[in-house]
Amino acid sequence: MNITLIGASGFVGTRLLDLLNQDKEKYTLKNIDIAQSHFFPTLTQKGDVRKQEDMDTGLKNTDLVILLAAQHRDDVTPISLYYDTNVEGMKVTLNAMEKNNVKRLIFFSSVAVYGLNKDNPNENFSPDPFNHYGKSKWQAEQVLQEWYKTHKDWNINIIRPTVIFGERNRGNVYNLLNQISSGKFLMVGNGNNKKSMAYVGNVVGFVKYMTDNVKEDYNVFNYIDKPDCNMNDLVAHVSKVLNKHIPTIHFPYWLGMLGGYCFDIMAKITGKKFAVSSVRVKKFCSTTEYDSSKAMATGFLPPYTLKEGIARTLEFEFVHPKPDDIQFVSE
């Protein structure tokens, strides 16, 4: 199977390339990205998902496209970049697929399409995105829905993962784990809000499973590692894995948001990006619990439990000597 990955030089793409590349007799891989891959330079060619010529050329002799390219950080400027990459990039990709007679697509969307503080939404839940990332991902899905109406012979699989974490990732989960492990963690709220998460080793395992087994129709899957844990449980697990006492002080939500707004003002004045913002405080205190029963009903068995994924990440980042300093920055 000839697989072309678009935007796979980052965190998830690197782990996916690593997993698929272990079976060279089964898969022939190519990565198209505007950035070079640290670990797979020989599989990577320069290309921009927003440029039709790049995609037309890049998707030649392809059986399956895996689209990961996206603008996903909270602080992307200008805002139009979310839509240029996430929405217009989808249109460019679909046109290139049609020109090259490619009829299989796996697209990384996000649970951000549901919005905040929803009651365990499944794939049939009405979208209600609250930020430009979520809005642009939902618009990209709408493009796919319209496309499929006239391309019923295609196989389109959409993954809506929750926040993905793992070794080498420098995103919100890493920042949280780093704060907890340092003993300087400030708990905003009562800590009972549940946080859905997904370990990268399980996410890429699910993609490989879909590649081999879900080859027909239009399918949408949430991906979350269950069971969800709340913030108090997470702190306790970090304490256990690192074998250290981690004190927690609970601050009221209003005080945390006030601090977030202060950092927003400082960021605007200085032009610097800070680890704390009102958006991140809001996301931290929200309940982000999603249903993943549909993905699990496919027969996929995650290779790791959520707690094993957290432990593997903690041990790599905070216990064992690092083999190098390569990191992937995301949300």
- Catalytic sites, residue numbers: 133
Cα 47 to its chain centre, rounded Å, is: 21
Token digits of residue 288: 């982000």
CB contact at 8 A, 64 and 106: yes
Where would I find the beta strands (DSSP E) of 109-254? 155-161, 163-165, 169-170, 186-188, 194-199, 218-223, 225-230, 249-251
CB contact at 8 A, 95 and 104: no
Placement of tokens 């391309």 in the chain? 151
Write out the H or E segment, with its range, that includes residue 66: strand 64-67
Placement of tokens 């913002």 in the chain? 277
Q: Buried b / exposed e across 193-210, counting CB within 10 Å, b at 16+?
A: bbbbbbbbbbbbbbbbbb
